[in-house]
Structure 1
């Protein structure tokens, strides 16, 4: 499973009362003032610069949680966590030690152009906003590909200047680290394990935003993880574009999460982990490529990620909580971005889809639609009965059983790798699976495919129809269809294959 995460400190809650910080920035080496040092609140539009004597003054919002960042060329960053109003802050900057430039002594296996393209994909992104976002100082970037670890690194002594035309911002991104772990010696975005970057960002408005820019910002916010968490903590998920799902089915938030108000945000705690059942095939006797169902052991519970489905865009994201309880600011920002990793759509949102934390979002107003009762729809009722007959049929059940058994022995992580020319693949990789022999694997593979071919067309028709009813009735379909189909299957009974 790929995990993607952006380590950007997003700690600001928007409040109305401002506080003032005054201070001076000097060199730790000789005590001399540092002129034109940048002083800003991370990931916001709030900034200033030091004067010739190293003095600065900056206004911050009350109850600010963002770090105060001080940056000057040739010096290390200086960070002030949870800065409070003060008039005598003295900051001593240490000279920066250049490391990466000295390490790059081997000839790179990829050209600078190739590495820059890969960097843009993992740093800027590949969304609609990304297509209209440019790095204005590409020559300041230094790249290095480690052939021993298959990792791509990037570094810049100067802030990366990013122009985002769609959102109307110019961003100064102070890159601290950037790394992409590839599966082998490649820069192909389809063949990597994980990526992460870390840094501090300052946003500047490109003039007064026009209507289009304002609309782009609103759309970007409404499609973000921040919007999802904002709806989640305020118990507004049911009326939003988002749906929380486990194993493909919508779930009640209260069943899995407990939300507790804090002084400046919310504590979000998992009270029930999302899981699914997987057949335990250990010790099962296999003859002629078939499992002996009488000797099959009970299923085991394995943890799965939460899935966030956007009803409007049809995009899906997976959430991997690293802590049982996480703190969420009132605007929907995670207090510690490391607490939740994303894959899917949210993970694809890189720098081009970042908004400053002091951006005041006008949440999309969603009025619940009045729709007729789905059970009054004769076409749906007939479809529900037909679906129960199909999913409860011996043909479908036999296919489902062999599919689960085959996947368990193959191991899920090998499923995509083995799609092309299975016989050749299994002969070379059987040690990576739980199959006892290649003959057993090939027999089960062929049986699974034969069973699926017999029901494939009907299955596709049912899936297509399910999608149509889901689009027509929304949550009403999700709440009723699966429950009723399972109930009908149990009542009508079916023979175990």
Structure 2
């Protein structure tokens, strides 16, 4: 029997567009040699806002004053940096350190699974099953290292290079720097690997695949946003569950939307207390999910952009629990 499949993907914070932008100029160097680094990726995590350094190590990036996403500085072979753009001044000098070769690599002599079997599970749990395989692909699968531990029944994945994802379903190319992937599995008597939970952490940069957004991509993006955790959290924090198409059920019965949510404003953030063990969330009458919190004190915080914390303790099942990378939109996506 398949249980809920929680997925945790961390994308730092969110970008909310406003009417004007600011510009940051800076330089990236090798910390030891002080040589400028060409082609370093500089982007706001989880968005379509980014650039690369030139031959002098210089970059120029525009951003909104309301930007809350981390500024990611990423280069193959070097330690990734996450910076707060509000603390940086024009002309900032960023020094990057080489990554030790041993990091990100785990060897287990008793790994009994073939790479093919591990890769199938990884793709299933990282990309998801709701989108056809040809619609969303990882182009550099050979860069992924996979290890299965039969004692813990956990599958881990690592990559020293960003994963290049071609998402034809939503119309994006995604560069994803994977910090950690762990699938907690349960083997059946027949040897089938069922998934208990999935934990994914990393940073992402999105680019449009086409110069103009096609109609099919626009429709798919609107659909995925409507069925996303981000949309639910924003609706909950602003008390617009009913207006945005959500119904809440408890023990098989529909209840007032905020009966089991104690909502308290804390400045720009919203504190939520779930006053029962589990609620059922129905979106647009047919999309059913459930939500529970894996801690005694069932509280969490939603910031003004719709991000919630702590993400590892909040568990979604059903439609919301099944969402994966193939369904994920950039954080600066706007309807």
**Structure 1 CA distance for aligned equivalents of residues 105 and 201 of structure 2:** 21
SS of the aligned residue for 1:174 comes to strand
**Structure 2 CA distance for aligned equivalents of residues 212 and 102 of structure 1:** 40
> Map of 1:145-156 to 2, 5 A cutoff?
145-156=148-159
Aligned length: 328
SS of the aligned residue for 1:318 comes to strand
- Structure with higher RCO (Cα < 8 A, 6+ apart): 2
Residue 17 of structure 2, aligned match among 15, 18, 43: 15
Which residue does 1:78 correspond to in 2? 81
SS of the aligned residue for 1:35 comes to coil
SS of the aligned residue for 1:315 comes to strand
Which residue does 1:327 correspond to in 2? 302
SS of the aligned residue for 2:223 comes to helix
User: Where in structure 1 are there 5+ consecutive unaligned residues?
Assistant: 275-303, 362-497
> Map of 1:201-212 to 2, 5 A cutoff?
201-207=204-210, 208-212=212-216
Does residue 27 (structure 1) correspond to residue 30 (structure 2)? The answer is: yes
Q: Residues 339 and 107 from structure 1, CA distance in 2 versus in 1: closer, same or farther, beyond 3 angstroms?
A: closer
Does residue 4 (structure 1) correspond to residue 6 (structure 2)? The answer is: yes
Does residue 314 (structure 1) correspond to residue 287 (structure 2)? The answer is: yes
> Superposition RMSD on alpha carbons, in Å?
2.5
**Structure 2 CA distance for aligned equivalents of residues 29 and 248 of structure 1:** 62
**Greater share of residues in helix:** 1
**Structure 2 CA distance for aligned equivalents of residues 199 and 13 of structure 1:** 17
Does residue 164 (structure 1) correspond to residue 137 (structure 2)? The answer is: no
1:128-178 CA distance string (max 9 Å, x none): 366611111111111111233222111111110111111100100001111
**Structure 1 CA distance for aligned equivalents of residues 191 and 316 of structure 2:** 21
Tell me if structure 2 keeps the 8 A contact 1:129–1:353.
no
Which residue does 1:176 correspond to in 2? 179
Which residue does 2:247 correspond to in 1? 243
Tell me if structure 2 keeps the 8 A contact 1:20–1:58.
yes
**Structure 1 CA distance for aligned equivalents of residues 116 and 325 of structure 2:** 20
Which residue does 1:273 correspond to in 2? 275
Q: Residues 189 and 18 from structure 1, CA distance in 2 versus in 1: closer, same or farther, beyond 3 angstroms?
A: farther
Larger radius of gyration: 1
**Structure 2 CA distance for aligned equivalents of residues 81 and 344 of structure 1:** 35
Q: Residues 321 and 106 from structure 1, CA distance in 2 versus in 1: closer, same or farther, beyond 3 angstroms?
A: closer
Q: Residues 266 and 339 from structure 1, CA distance in 2 versus in 1: closer, same or farther, beyond 3 angstroms?
A: farther
Q: CA deviation at 1:24?
A: 1.2
SS of the aligned residue for 1:66 comes to coil
1:86-144 CA distance string (max 9 Å, x none): 20322111111233675325263111111110000110001136661111111111111
Q: Residues 71 and 246 from structure 1, CA distance in 2 versus in 1: closer, same or farther, beyond 3 angstroms?
A: same
Q: Residues 211 and 184 from structure 1, CA distance in 2 versus in 1: closer, same or farther, beyond 3 angstroms?
A: closer
Does residue 43 (structure 1) correspond to residue 46 (structure 2)? The answer is: yes
Q: CA deviation at 1:61?
A: 1.4
Q: Residues 128 and 39 from structure 1, CA distance in 2 versus in 1: closer, same or farther, beyond 3 angstroms?
A: same
Q: Residues 181 and 172 from structure 1, CA distance in 2 versus in 1: closer, same or farther, beyond 3 angstroms?
A: same
Tell me if structure 2 keeps the 8 A contact 1:22–1:87.
yes
Tell me if structure 1 keeps the 8 A contact 2:144–2:158.
yes
Residue 67 of structure 1, aligned match among 65, 70, 94: 70
